[in-house]
């Protein structure tokens, strides 16, 4: 069923939801951007509808609701280890179609890779509901259509925010009682059907010769290995285990986000490391997003949200990188066919 | 059904510590669950950290690991004594498939600390002569002071064809000098239809040793290598050990050379 409400009515029903649910959504982080006197839009728990930003692409992704940048796995005392208990309140996340598809990728890695499900991810994941934010238009750097992530059916409710009203479609009967107010509507969420940016994606079975192509040398010159692309990416899942002393005989075992671009990712005792050149790191990341993840799991890891393009301080466009790799892939295939 | 927390650790009791060199000690732990040669555990001390360490040898009640003192955690482990416990989780990884080498003309080439993960496997074939057609071992170290398991190597030399060599000799060294690769062409079983080879050691040594074996006719499929990577979680989640679509902690660390050759870092 779909409904249409005023903004005031929506504010009230949002308040009702916060009694039972923790609501995450895009919101303004005032004066916290990397540039002075600027704000950015990121994800945080929202206490009121007034905090929800619905018309701007977020700088950081909603993945941190399930996979926070820093997570305590155990608290240690002199003779015990305690697993921190998790908040029992179920969670609602307001997010776009690309990000809902992103959570599919997170689920694949954390729940299906290897024979064990990730305990910490799973216990949060079991409590999450998705509230789809309809995209009024594609943002400049989006390429969700090329990645087949512009649509989704995996949402509990969908929303369109206009100047006058809020339209809601209830997809999960659990939310019927909260959202069945206002007028009945025939609202069905529309999805983006075209982006400014079209990105041909290469075959997953990529020619090995591409690994050694001089294309990556350009990225060695340009990439500064800051890791911003990884922290903004909705599907980056790498982390490092870390113990941290919190007192004379108390400590914590944590995991914190890691970036394959940032130095140290491959460092081993004894001094060995791999992919020292930034171009090699770029190649590793690129192949993970559009080649080897697909070979292992059947879907591409990249969902075309375009955040990495938005945040790169060196103006490296990942969409453009994929285009180049596609072109090379065709080239190498033609060469093989010919000779 | 509640998900099990695979990050939880169990206590591992230290039974014995034997120094091999000034920075390599072999720890004997109390452990009685099934193991494969070449698997690894994540050892830890709460508040200090975790590190992946491979199993060197085991029997029904004990497991041995040779640990090198190189950082915060291993420094702390070296301060432990017999009777202490450290924390542990695992085993992880696939390990060597002993059946693959049974009945073969087996060549084992181990460089430096690479001998540690194949120690138990080698001992098995040395003491069970009928398990393989023949056994040739080449083991090399940087210098005489880096040699591990000297007494056991001397024992093995009495029973099987073993070459112990050092890259750089000293005044008192009377044994072989030279890289392990120099001794590979001399092996008499290279062209055998039953040849199997295991190569473990630093990446560069593995590269040249496998090249030497292939050059002299050993099929790629019959060569097995073991990889080391910066394993952090050991469960296939953290991504540190990923090479292309392979997770070394899940699909390895033991690979056939055919597979390993396409793992481009």
- In Å, how far is B88's CA from the nearest CA of chain A? 13
**Which phi and psi (to 5°) does residue B35 adopt?**
-140, 160
| Position A52 in a domain | yes
Residues A302 and A265 in one domain: yes
Q: What is the pLDDT of residue B28?
A: 98
The answer on A53 and A179 residing in a single domain is: yes
Question: In whole angstroms, what is the distance from residue A10 CA to residue B87 CA?
Answer: 52
Chains A & B: contacts with CB separation below 8 Å: 117
The partner residue sitting opposite B247, judged by closest CB among A113, A237, A267, is A113
Cα–Cα distances in angstroms (integers) from residue B133 to residues A285, A318, B124, B160, in the given order: 46, 55, 14, 12
Q: Residue B164 phi/psi, 5° resolution?
A: -110, 125
CB contact under 8 A, B244 and A292: yes
When CB atoms are compared, the residue of A76, A241, A275 closest to B47 is A76
How many other β-carbons are positioned within 10 Å of the β-carbon of residue B34?
A: 8
Please identify among residues 153-192 of chain B the ones whose CB lies closer than 8 Å to any CB of chain A: none
- The answer to whether the CB atoms of B4 and A241 lie below 8 A apart is no
Would residue A243 count as lying in a domain?
no
The nearest CA of chain A is from the CA of B232 a distance in Å of: 6
B229 close to A (CB below 8 A) = yes
**For residues B187 and A83, what is the distance between their CA atoms, to the nearest angstrom?**
55
Cβ–Cβ under 8 Å, residues B213 and B234? no
Specify whether the CB–CB gap between B221 and B195 falls below 8 A: no
CB distance B46–A253 less than 8 Å?
Answer: yes
Q: Are strands A157-161 and A128-133 parallel, antiparallel or unpaired?
A: parallel
**A159: β partners:** A133, A168
Q: Are residues A132 and A224 in the same domain?
A: no
Residue B204 at interface with chain A, using a CB cutoff of 8 Å: no
User: Is B233's Cβ below 8 Å from some Cβ in A?
Assistant: yes
Q: Are residues A219 and A323 in the same domain?
A: yes
Cβ contacts (< 8 Å) between A287 and chain B: which residues?
Answer: 244
Contact B39, B112 (CB under 8 A): no
CA distance B198 to B206: 10
Q: Tell me what pLDDT residue B265 has.
A: 85
CB atoms within 10 A of CB A127: 16
Return d(Cα B147, Cα B66) in angstroms, integer.
Answer: 12
Closest CA to A287 of A216, A181, A218: A216
Please, which contacts does B209-216 make with residues 24 or more away whose CB atoms are closer than 8 Å?
A: B209/B109, B209/B111, B209/B180, B209/B181, B209/B184, B210/B257, B212/B181, B212/B184, B212/B185, B213/B107, B213/B109, B213/B184, B214/B257, B216/B184, B216/B185, B216/B187, B216/B190, B216/B191
User: CB-CB: which of A119, A270, A292 is closest to B5?
Assistant: A119
Task: From chain B, pick out residues whose CB is under 8 angstroms from the CB of A76.
Answer: 46-47
- Rg of chain B over all Cα atoms, to the nearest angstrom: 18
CA atoms within 13 A on the CB side of B80: 27
Residue B1 touches partner A, C-beta closer than 8 Å: no
Nearest to A267 among B47, B230, B239 (CB): B230
Strand order across the A91-95 sheet:
A40-46, A22-29, A91-95, A128-133, A157-161, A165-170, A2-6, A183-185
Output the pLDDT for position B83: 98
Contact status, residue A125 vs residue A163, Cβ threshold 8 Å: no
Shortest Cα distance, chain B CAs vs residue A322, angstroms: 17
How many whole angstroms separate alpha carbon A233 and alpha carbon A178? 32
Which residues in B lie closer than 8 A to residue A266 (C-beta atoms)?
229-230, 240, 265
Whether residue A228 sits in one domain with residue A174 = no
The b/e string for A303-332 (b: 16+ C-beta within 10 A; e otherwise) is bbbbbbbbbbeeebbbbebbbbbbebbeeb
Cα–Cα distance for residue pair B73/B91, rounded to 1 Å: 19
For an interface test with B, give the residue of A78, A239, A243 to mutate (most B CBs within 10 A). A243
Instruction: Identify whether residues A181 and A212 lie together within a single domain.
Output: no
Cβ–Cβ gap B247/A74 under 8 Å: no
Distance from CA of A242 to the nearest CA of B (A): 6
Q: What is the CATH number of the domain that holds A282?
A: 1.10.1060
| B228 to A241: CB separation less than 8 angstroms, yes or no | no
Residue B169: other Cβ atoms inside 10 A: 15
User: How many angstroms away from the CA of A255 is the closest CA of chain B?
Assistant: 9
Taking an 8 Å cut-off on Cβ atoms, the answer to whether A258 and B46 are in contact is no
Which pLDDT band, with edges at 50, 70 and 90, does B2 fall under?
confident
Check A241 against B233: CB less than 8 A apart: yes
Same domain, A316 and A172: no
Per-residue confidence (pLDDT) for residue A104, from 0 to 100 = 97
Alpha-carbon span A304 to A223, nearest angstrom: 20
Q: Are A146 and A201 in contact (CB under 8 A)?
A: yes
Smallest CA-to-CA distance from B265 within A257, A37, A211, A64 is with: A211
Residue range B129-141: mean pLDDT, rounded: 96
DSSP strand E in chain B: where? 10-19, 24-30, 40-45, 49-54, 57-58, 62-68, 85-92, 105-111, 134-141, 161-166, 176-177, 195-200, 223-226, 242-243, 246-247, 254-256
Residues in chain A predicted with pLDDT less than 50, given as ranges, are none
Instruction: Tell me if A77 is assigned to some domain.
Output: no
* CATH code linked to domain B98-260: 3.40.50.80
Residue B265 touches chain A, beta carbons under 8 Å: yes
Q: How far is B76 from chain A (nearest CA, A)?
A: 13
- Which residue does chain A place closest to B233, by CA atoms? A241
Put simply, the answer to whether A239 touches B230 (Cβ < 8 Å) is no
Give the N- to C-terminal CA distance of chain B in Å, as an integer. 38
B146 vs A: CB within 8 A:
no
Task: For residue A202, tell me if it sits in a domain.
Answer: no
Q: Give the nearest partner residue to B239 out of A116, A208, A260, using CB atoms.
A: A260
A71 part of a folded domain:
no
Residue B9: pLDDT band with limits 50, 70, 90: very high
Is residue A41 domain-shared with residue A125, that is, in the same domain? yes
Q: Is A167 inside a domain boundary?
A: yes
A195/B264 Cα distance (integer angstroms): 34
Claim to verify: residue A146 and residue A231 sit in the same structural domain: no
Return d(Cα A289, Cα A303) in angstroms, integer.
9
* Cβ distance of A243 and B71 shorter than 8 Å: no
Q: Are residues A32 and A145 in the same domain?
A: yes
User: Looking at the structure, do residues A14 and A162 belong to the same domain, yes or no?
Assistant: yes
Report the SS3 class of residue A278: helix
Choose among B37, B54, B36, B53: nearest CA to B45: B53
Domain B10-92 superfamily per CATH:
Translation factors (2.40.30.10)
pLDDT digits (tens, 9 = 90+) for A214-265: 999 999 999 999 999 999 999 999 999 999 999 988 999 999 999 999 999 9
**Inside any domain, residue A72:** no
Phi, psi of B226 (to 5 degrees): -125, 130
Question: Which pLDDT tens digit goes with each residue over B82-104?
Answer: 999 999 999 999 999 999 999 99
Residue pair A219/A279 in contact by the 8 Å Cβ criterion:
yes
Domain coverage including residue A35: 2-65+85-185
Is the separation of the CB atoms in B161 and B137 below 8 Å? Answer: yes
**Count of CB atoms situated within 10 Å of the CB of A234:** 28
Taken in order A26, A27, A28, A34, the sign of the CA dihedral is negative
Matching fold, domains B10-92 and B98-260:
no
Cβ pair A296:B245 closer than 8 A: yes
Chain A nearest C-alpha distance from B96 (Å):
19
> Which residue, among A85, A248, A251, A253, would best test binding to B if mutated, counting the most B CBs under 10 Å from its CB?
A253
Query: Is the CB of residue A274 less than 8 Å from the CB of residue A266?
Result: yes
Split into its structural domains, chain A has a count of: 2
Predicted pLDDT of residue A48: 97
Domain extents in chain B: 10-92, 98-260
Is residue A247 in a domain? no
Per-residue DSSP letter, B21 = S
- Is residue B4 less than 8 Å (CB to CB) from chain A? yes
Clarify whether residues A177 and A61 are in a common domain.
yes
Distance (Å, whole) CA A168 – CA A1: 8
Question: Which pLDDT does position A54 carry in this prediction?
Answer: 96
Which residue of chain A is at minimal alpha-carbon distance from B243?
A: A284
For residue A339, the model assigns a pLDDT of 60
B150-159 vs B115-127: helix crossing angle, rounded to 10: 40
d(CA A31, CA A21): 28
Specify the DSSP element, H or E, that contains A318: helix A318-338
The three-state secondary structure class of A140 is: coil
Q: Do A120 and B7 touch (CB under 8 A)?
A: yes
């Amino acid at each position: 069923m779909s409904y249409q409400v005023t903004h005031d009515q929506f504010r009230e029903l949002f308040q009702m939801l916060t009694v039972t649910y923790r609501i995450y959504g895009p919101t303004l982080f005032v004066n916290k951007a990397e540039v002075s006197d600027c704000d950015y839009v990121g994800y945080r728990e929202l206490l009121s509808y007034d905090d929800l930003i619905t018309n701007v692409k977020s700088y950081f992704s909603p993945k941190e609701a399930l996979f926070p940048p820093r997570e305590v796995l155990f608290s240690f005392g002199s003779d015990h280890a305690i697993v921190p208990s998790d908040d029992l309140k179920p969670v609602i996340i307001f997010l776009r179609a690309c990000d809902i598809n992103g959570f599919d990728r997170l689920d694949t890695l954390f729940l299906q890779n290897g024979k064990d499900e990730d305990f910490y991810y799973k216990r949060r994941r079991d409590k999450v509901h998705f509230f789809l934010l309809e995209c009024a238009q594609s943002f400049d750097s989006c390429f969700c259509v090329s990645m087949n992530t512009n649509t989704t059916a995996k949402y509990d409710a969908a929303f369109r925010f206009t100047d006058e009203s809020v339209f809601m479609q209830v997809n999960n009967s659990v939310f019927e009682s909260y959202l069945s107010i206002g007028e009945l509507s025939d609202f069905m969420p529309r999805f983006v059907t075209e982006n400014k940016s079209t990105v041909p994606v290469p075959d997953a079975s990529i020619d090995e010769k591409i690994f050694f192509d001089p294309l990556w040398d350009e990225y060695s010159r340009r990439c500064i290995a800051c890791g911003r692309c990884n922290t903004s990416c909705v599907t980056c899942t790498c982390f490092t285990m870390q113990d941290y002393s919190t007192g004379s005989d108390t400590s914590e075992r944590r995991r914190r986000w890691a970036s394959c671009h940032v130095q140290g990712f491959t460092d081993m005792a004894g001094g060995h490391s791999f992919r020292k050149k930034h171009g090699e790191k770029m190649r590793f990341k690129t192949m993970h997003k559009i080649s080897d993840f697909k070979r292992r799991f059947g879907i591409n890891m990249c969902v075309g949200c375009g955040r990495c393009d938005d945040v790169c301080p060196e103006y490296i466009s990942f969409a453009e990188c994929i285009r180049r790799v596609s072109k090379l892939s065709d080239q190498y295939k033609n060469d093989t066919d010919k000779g | 059904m509640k998900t099990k927390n695979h990050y939880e650790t169990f206590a591992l009791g230290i039974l014995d510590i034997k120094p091999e060199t000034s920075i390599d000690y072999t720890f004997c732990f109390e452990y009685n669950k099934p193991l494969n040669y070449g698997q690894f555990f994540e050892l830890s001390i709460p508040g200090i950290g975790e590190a992946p360490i491979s199993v060197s040898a085991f029997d029904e009640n004990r497991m041995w690991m040779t640990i090198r003192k190189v950082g915060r955690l291993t420094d702390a482990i070296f301060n432990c004594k017999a009777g202490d416990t450290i924390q542990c989780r695992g085993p992880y990884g696939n390990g060597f498939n002993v059946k693959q080498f049974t009945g073969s003309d087996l060549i084992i080439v181990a460089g430096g600390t690479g001998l540690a993960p194949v120690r138990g496997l080698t001992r098995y074939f040395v003491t069970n002569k009928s398990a393989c057609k023949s056994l040739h071992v080449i083991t090399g170290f940087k210098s005489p002071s880096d040699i591990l398991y000297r007494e056991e190597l001397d024992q093995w030399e009495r029973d099987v064809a073993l070459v112990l060599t050092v890259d750089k000799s000293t005044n008192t060294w009377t044994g072989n000098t030279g890289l392990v690769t120099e001794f590979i062409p001399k092996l008499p079983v290279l062209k055998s239809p039953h040849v199997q080879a295991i190569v473990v050691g630093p990446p560069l040594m593995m590269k040249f040793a496998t090249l030497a074996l292939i050059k002299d006719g050993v099929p790629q499929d019959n060569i097995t290598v073991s990889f080391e990577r910066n394993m952090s979680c050991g469960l296939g989640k953290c991504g540190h050990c990923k090479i292309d679509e392979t997770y070394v902690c899940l699909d390895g660390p033991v690979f056939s050379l055919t597979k390993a050759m396409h793992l481009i870092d």
